[in-house]
Structure 1
Amino acid sequence: MAVRGWALGLLAVTVAAALTGCTGDGREAACDSAGGIVECSAEQRSGAPSIAGELLAGGSYDVAGQRGQVVVVNFWGSWCAPCRAEADDLEGTYQATKESGVTFLGINVQDSRDKAIAFEEAYGVSYPSIFDPGSRLALAMDIPPNTIPATVVLDREGRIAVVIRAAVRQDGLQPIVERIAAESPATAGPR
């Protein structure tokens, strides 16, 4: 039993380090990075890993079904004060951009389902969220979010265009989302 407890503790430390540490991957080094925002030009973008799972409200979701749309993925937890601070800004950006082929997806991490559902109800979050208490989706990213909250913007080809490793505000996020949404297929890169 002591070995199992030790192994679980080591796993928890590894997950925490992965979410808060630096990435040594060359992909991020090839992109522009400033102030907690990593932005990749169309030529530098890598495909996002499979982003699929069980929704907080029930049912399942697979981001592959959103190909052709810009997808804004926000990693959050009900326990996270900056997540509470950005909730209105995310919802506002979602409402302002959804008519231009943009969809939003939350990924709830390191949380209980009841607390996550209560958070969404309290803050009026209207877009879906995947329940991912083990943070496996964040750990699978080529350019990992590394912090909570974090927001990843996928282009219409399903590639990582922008990673924001901080709480967002609508006046900062919306122009980024609109710019990625305005890319033509030729700008976005080959299929």
Structure 2
Amino acid sequence: MSRPFSRRTLLVAAGALAGALAACSPGEDGARSGSGEYEFTEPTPPATVLAEDQRAQAPAFSGELLDGTPFDSSSLAGDVAVINFWGSWCVPCRVETPEFQAVHADVAARGVQFLGIDVKDQRQMAVAFVERLGVAYPSVFDPRGEVAMAFRGFPANVVPSTILLDRDGRVAAVYTGQVRGADLRTAVELLLAEDQR
């Protein structure tokens, strides 16, 4: 009787996946696809943002906040936006979230909106998570990861992940994995400074 997956099969599959991910590198247009819409190519280095000519328009999305009220991404228009994908089950999220809240408290009055996207979670657990950590910004309840799928090619299985949008609604940075508060603050300040040039 043979096992469904041998160690060799799993190693070959892992190698193929790694090769596919390595192949996702930006072309001349960075995050742009041929249509000018956003398509993920690779993470942005920490504390940096894409050059303005490499940014592409973020997709529209909608959903329901943890408190049950409807949300539409059009409400982010005109502000710098920090979109953070998290889950109450995610250990790095427990470290990252208080740092995000601290940055949010410092920059919200300057035209920066924060939005959490709670994925692969139970609403009750997510509500307890944000209450325990004192998170003041809203989160969309997205257990099936539909918002992540709207961002073409975005690695929806990498949690936490963070997307920054500039004031024109273009994707200015994509960070996969935990983001330090100091790095997030630097990137947000870079986007805010663009209005002063």
Shorter-chain TM-score range: 0.7 to 0.9
Listed as ranges, the matches of 1:113-124 within 5 Å are 113-124=123-134
Per-residue deviation, residues 64-87 of structure 1 (Å, max 9, x unmatched) = 122110010000000000000111
Distance 1:96 1:28 in 2: 36
Distance 1:154 1:145 in 2: 17
Per-residue deviation, residues 147-168 of structure 1 (Å, max 9, x unmatched) = 1001110000111000111212
Q: For the structure 1 residues 27 and 84, does the alpha-carbon distance in structure 2 shift closer, same or farther, using more than 3 Å as the test?
A: farther
Distance 1:55 1:162 in 2: 24
Report the counterpart of residue 100 of structure 1 in structure 2: 110
User: What is the alpha-carbon root mean square deviation over aligned residues?
Assistant: 2.6
What residue ranges of structure 2 are gaps of 5+ in the alignment?
Answer: 1-16, 32-41
Q: TM-score, normalised by structure 2?
A: 0.76
Q: For the structure 1 residues 58 and 34, does the alpha-carbon distance in structure 2 shift closer, same or farther, using more than 3 Å as the test?
A: closer
What residue ranges of structure 1 are gaps of 5+ in the alignment?
Answer: 1-17
Q: For the structure 1 residues 106 and 127, does the alpha-carbon distance in structure 2 shift closer, same or farther, using more than 3 Å as the test?
A: same
Give the residue type in structure 2 aligned to 1:164: Y
Q: For the structure 1 residues 139 and 33, does the alpha-carbon distance in structure 2 shift closer, same or farther, using more than 3 Å as the test?
A: closer
Runs of 4 or more off by more than 4 Å in structure 1? 25-29, 31-38
Listed as ranges, the matches of 1:1-191 within 5 Å are 22=21, 24=24, 26=26, 30=30, 35=45, 39-142=49-152, 144-146=154-156, 147-184=158-195
Q: For the structure 1 residues 33 and 129, does the alpha-carbon distance in structure 2 shift closer, same or farther, using more than 3 Å as the test?
A: closer
Distance 2:67 2:83 in 1: 17
The answer as to whether partners of 1:54 and 1:131 remain within 8 angstroms in 2 is yes
The answer as to whether partners of 2:43 and 2:174 remain within 8 angstroms in 1 is no
Give the residue type in structure 1 aligned to 2:174: V
| Bigger share in helix | 1
Q: For the structure 1 residues 127 and 28, does the alpha-carbon distance in structure 2 shift closer, same or farther, using more than 3 Å as the test?
A: farther
Counting aligned pairs with the same residue, the percent is: 39
Q: TM-score, normalised by structure 1?
A: 0.78
Q: Could you say what secondary structure the match of 1:68 adopts?
A: coil
Distance 1:43 1:70 in 2: 17
Distance 1:101 1:27 in 2: 32
The answer as to whether partners of 1:46 and 1:142 remain within 8 angstroms in 2 is no
Aligned length: 167
Q: For the structure 1 residues 148 and 29, does the alpha-carbon distance in structure 2 shift closer, same or farther, using more than 3 Å as the test?
A: farther
